[in-house]
């Protein structure tokens, strides 16, 4: 089981931003991710920086830890320009980038460019075209594509990614079409659980049961294309289930252990942010990073 963190882009680089990413590496996190949004929920009227410039700075400030988005979506991205940025970022980081990618939702990003909010079906349609095209753009030198939603005309992406054949995709999905994309194009699968469980007052056990069902559906999607489900890493982005893993080291160990039993390879915790939905005791958080994984390993 590997432990990673999400560092939201809410700090000026010169006023603690750099220090947080460097501290994450010092604490031994496997990876540090950030959200790729223009703004997000309760942070809309607060400091919020762009994901790609933040990850570029983080790549220069660290040397070992993997970096990435969790997650990027088509809401305000185009595959052609995103591919160029990712190839550049992979080069700058020395091949440490993972692209977390999902279909997006109805948040502030959905209408920021002046478009009408997409229906769930249109989001799924766009995602189904976005991911395969991005896959080609990151793994082929020259790409042309004429699609329903996205086009690419003789796009050059030389020299390509440092990681070959391209940087890894961690596909966030729970619906049937998204799970098929994860099975076909993903090197990892990401879930936050089922939001309905929390909304309906469900328990931590209810959350695990919902995730167990997601894993079963992912396995079926893999079987349909002849892929072994075990080839996909499983990533749990914590903070959206009925659990409270940041309350103590023991709470984290119980949480992570239960998801390890389900087959998860990586747990991702939000770096604490005061006066927010991600508020937590930083001292406890750091103890989880240094002691929690050791306890899981039986050390």
- Chain segment 134-186, per-residue pLDDT in tens: 999 999 999 999 999 999 999 999 999 999 999 999 999 999 999 999 999 99
Question: Can you name the residues that pair with 26 across neighbouring β-strands?
Answer: none
Q: Write the DSSP assignment of 251-282 as a string of letters.
A: HHHHHHHHHHHTT--EEEEEPP-TTSTT---H
The answer to whether 260 and 212 have CB atoms below 8 angstroms apart is: no
CATH of the domain at 255: 3.20.20.30
Task: Tell me the per-residue pLDDT of 195-234, one tens digit each, with 9 for 90 and over.
Answer: 999 999 999 999 999 999 999 999 999 999 999 999 999 9
Is residue 243 within 8 Å of residue 204, measured between CB atoms? yes
Do 216 and 252 form a contact (C-beta atoms < 8 A)? no
- Going by the DSSP 8-state scheme, the letter that residue 113 receives in this structure is T
Residue among 52, 41, 47 nearest 76 (CA): 52
> Can you give the residue range of the structural domain that contains 241?
2-296
**Which residues, including other chains, have CB under 8 Å from residue 125's CB and lie 6 or more apart?**
148, 149
> What share of the chain has pLDDT > 90, as a percent?
95
Per-residue confidence (pLDDT) for residue 299, from 0 to 100: 64
Into how many domains does the chain fold? 1
For 296, the token pair is 């899981």
Question: For 77-99, how does the pLDDT look when each residue is reduced to its tens digit (9 = 90+)?
Answer: 999 999 999 999 999 999 999 99
CA distances (Å), 95 to each of 64, 142, 268, in order? 10, 21, 20
User: Distance (Å, rounded) from C-alpha 47 to C-alpha 78?
Assistant: 25
pTM over 0.85: yes
């Amino acid at each position: 089981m590997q432990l990673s963190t999400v560092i939201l882009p809410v700090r000026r680089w010169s006023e603690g931003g750099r220090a947080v990413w460097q501290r994450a590496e010092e604490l031994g996190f496997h990876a540090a991710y950030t959200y790729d949004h223009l703004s997000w929920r309760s942070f809309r009227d607060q400091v919020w920086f762009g994901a790609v410039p933040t990850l570029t700075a983080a790549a220069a400030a660290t040397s070992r830890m993997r970096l990435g988005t969790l997650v990027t979506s088509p809401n305000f991205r185009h595959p052609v320009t995103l591919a160029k940025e990712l190839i550049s970022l992979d080069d700058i980081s020395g091949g440490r980038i993972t692209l977390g990618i999902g279909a997006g939702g109805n948040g502030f990003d959905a209408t920021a460019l002046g478009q009408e909010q997409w229906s769930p079906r249109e989001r799924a349609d766009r995602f189904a075209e976005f991911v395969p095209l991005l896959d080609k753009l990151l793994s082929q030198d020259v790409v042309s594509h004429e699609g329903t939603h996205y086009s690419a005309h003789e796009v050059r992406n030389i020299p390509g990614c440092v990681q070959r054949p391209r940087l890894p995709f961690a596909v966030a999905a729970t619906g049937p079409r998204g799970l098929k994309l994860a099975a076909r194009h993903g090197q990892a699968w990401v879930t936050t659980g089922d939001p309905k469980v929390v909304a309906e007052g469900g328990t931590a056990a209810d959350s695990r049961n919902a995730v167990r069902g997601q894993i079963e559906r992912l396995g079926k999607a893999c079987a349909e294309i002849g892929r072994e489900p075990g080839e996909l890493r499983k990533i749990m982005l914590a903070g959206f289930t009925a659990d409270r893993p940041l309350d103590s080291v023991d709470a984290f160990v119980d949480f992570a252990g239960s998801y390890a039993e389900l087959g998860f390879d990586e747990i991702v915790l939000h770096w604490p942010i005061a006066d927010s939905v991600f508020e937590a005791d930083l001292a406890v958080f750091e103890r989880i990073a240094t002691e929690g994984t050791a306890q899981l390993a039986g050390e």
